[in-house]
């Protein structure tokens, strides 16, 4: 990624040590922007600067955002069982934190980019447009939808709600490898590639307890598209997803084709009981992106091209978005 933005900016990222956040931070940095991660506790070893903040304090967040052109808010509570077991904690860690980050950004003039999810949908539509407000079927989707509304209410003319779906990619700060398959699409492709590359069989989960259709994207490409959101100070609801909706098993077959893996190693079965989500999940959470592509002036982002970019990323160790930085 040798091309850099013509307008370098200071961009704060919450959750920059997580899977999606680390990809966003690294792509923004490699596009020539100054990135600062906001974290609850000291963090070492990141390529970008880390500022320790108190996420319970608007004053602390306001101080941390001083001088920032934008803040990308993608920090979440990853323990989904805790979301169900402790609603008060869950509400504050999603909705409360989003409100505090947004209020701080409003005070400093930073552009708010809120990273949301396809799971705000109820799973009965197909490639739903950006104008769809959603109808969540579980508490996680409800919390993310509430976060979206917080941004709309607090910065109605100055915030972007960016929904993502079926995120492929690898963590940019290392780790022990891909997480195992879950009932969503996150880590699905990486765990499949990892298993089949070893010659192991891979069971593609199916049935009514599994997210069966979505519109996948690549974490690095999400970072590149967010760079355009920030450069254009785009607002409203945007869908940072690939161009195509695809079923879980068809995606597995396409992965085998692009990566040169043996599709005969694939099986299908419902997920084991211990891997079920503690609530219903949307069956078809695919999102349309025509409005988003127009706003951000994006070229084609087919699933095949995104998978090819991910294959290159795994080979090189470097994020490989399809979109180039703003120039």
Quick one: pLDDT band at residue 326, thresholds 50, 70, 90? confident
Judging by DSSP bridges, how do beta strands 213-214 and 217-218 pair with one another?
Answer: unpaired
Is residue 128 assigned to a domain? Answer: yes
Is residue 53 assigned to a domain? Answer: yes
pLDDT per residue as tens digits for the range 201-211: 999 999 999 99
Q: Pick the residue with more confidence: 32 or 3?
A: 32
Quick one: pLDDT band at residue 177, thresholds 50, 70, 90? low
pLDDT per residue as tens digits for the range 151-165: 999 999 889 999 999
Residues 6+ apart with CB under 8 A from 312: 320
In the beta sheet, which residues pair with residue 50? 37
- Tokens, residue 65: 């955002």
Q: Is pLDDT at 176 greater than 90 in this prediction?
A: no
pLDDT of 179 reads: 79
pLDDT of 6 reads: 66
Quick one: pLDDT band at residue 87, thresholds 50, 70, 90? confident
Alpha-carbon distances of 147 from 43, 54, 115, 152, rounded to whole Å: 26, 19, 9, 9
pLDDT of 252 reads: 98
Residues 6+ apart with CB under 8 A from 205: 181, 183, 248, 268, 269, 270, 271, 275
Strand (E) positions, the chain?
A: 10-14, 34-39, 49-52, 70-73, 111-117, 159-164, 167-168, 202-205, 213-214, 217-218, 236-239, 246-247, 266-269
Q: Is pLDDT at 2 greater than 60 in this prediction?
A: no
Percent over 70 (pLDDT), the chain: 96
Q: Is pLDDT at 175 greater than 80 in this prediction?
A: no
pLDDT of 290 reads: 98
Is residue 161 assigned to a domain? Answer: yes
Least confident of 5-19, 211-225, 303-317: 5-19
Is residue 325 assigned to a domain? Answer: no
Say if CB 237 and CB 131 are below 8 A apart. yes
Question: Average pLDDT, whole number, for the chain?
Answer: 94
Is residue 321 assigned to a domain? Answer: no
* Among 285, 303, 299, 290, residue whose Cα is nearest residue 131: 290
Least confident of 2-6, 48-52, 83-87, 316-320: 2-6
Is residue 276 assigned to a domain? Answer: yes
Highest mean pLDDT among 74-78, 90-94, 284-288: 284-288
Judged on CB neighbours under 10 Å (0-12, 13-18, 19+), 243 is buried
| Average pLDDT, integer, range 265-278 | 95
Q: What is the CATH number of the domain that holds 198?
A: 3.40.50.720
Could you say which DSSP state residue 137 is in? S
Query: How far apart are the C-alpha atoms of 80 and 125, rounded to whole Å?
Result: 24
Is residue 324 assigned to a domain? Answer: no
Question: Which strands form 10-14's sheet, in the order they lie side by side?
Answer: 49-52, 34-39, 10-14, 70-73, 111-117, 159-164, 236-239
Quick one: pLDDT band at residue 54, thresholds 50, 70, 90? very high
Residues 6+ apart with CB under 8 A from 92: none
pLDDT of 83 reads: 73
Percent over 90 (pLDDT), the chain: 86
**Domain range for 78:** 10-316
- Total domain count for the chain? 1
pLDDT per residue as tens digits for the range 132-148: 999 999 999 999 999 99
pLDDT of 76 reads: 81
| Average pLDDT, integer, range 241-266 | 98
pLDDT of 57 reads: 97
> Is this prediction's pTM over 0.85?
yes
């Amino acid at each position: 990624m040798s091309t850099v933005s013509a307008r370098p900016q200071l961009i704060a990222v919450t959750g920059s040590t997580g899977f999606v956040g680390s990809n966003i931070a690294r792509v923004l940095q490699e596009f020539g922007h100054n990135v600062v991660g906001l974290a609850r506790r000291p963090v070492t070893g990141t390529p970008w600067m880390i500022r320790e903040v108190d996420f319970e304090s608007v004053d602390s967040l306001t101080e941390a955002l001083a001088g920032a052109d934008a803040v990308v808010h993608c920090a979440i509570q990853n323990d989904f069982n805790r979301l169900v077991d402790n609603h008060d904690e869950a509400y504050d860690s999603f909705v409360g934190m989003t409100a505090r980050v947004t209020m701080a950004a409003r005070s400093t003039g930073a552009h708010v980019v809120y990273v949301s999810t396809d799971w705000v949908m109820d799973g009965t539509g197909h490639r739903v447009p950006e104008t769809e407000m959603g109808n969540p079927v579980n508490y996680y989707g409800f919390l993310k939808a509430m976060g979206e509304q917080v941004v709309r209410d607090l910065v109605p003319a100055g915030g972007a709600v960016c929904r993502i779906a079926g995120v492929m990619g690898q963590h940019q700060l290392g780790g022990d490898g891909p997480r195992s398959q879950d009932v969503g699409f996150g880590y699905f492709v990486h765990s499949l590639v990892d298993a089949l590359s070893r010659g192991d069989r891979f069971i593609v989960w199916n049935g009514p307890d599994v997210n069966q259709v979505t519109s996948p994207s690549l974490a690095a490409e999400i970072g590149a598209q967010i760079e355009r959101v920030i450069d254009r100070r785009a607002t409203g609801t945007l869908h940072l997803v690939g161009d195509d909706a695809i079923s879980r098993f068809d995606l597995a077959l396409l992965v085998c084709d692009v990566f040169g893996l043996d599709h005969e190693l694939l099986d299908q079965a419902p997920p084991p009981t211990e891997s079920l989500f503690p609530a219903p999940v949307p069956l078809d959470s695919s999102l349309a992106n025509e409005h988003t592509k127009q706003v951000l002036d994006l070229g084609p982002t087919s699933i095949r091209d995104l998978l090819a970019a991910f294959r290159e990323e795994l080979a090189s160790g470097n994020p490989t978005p399809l979109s180039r930085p703003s120039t």
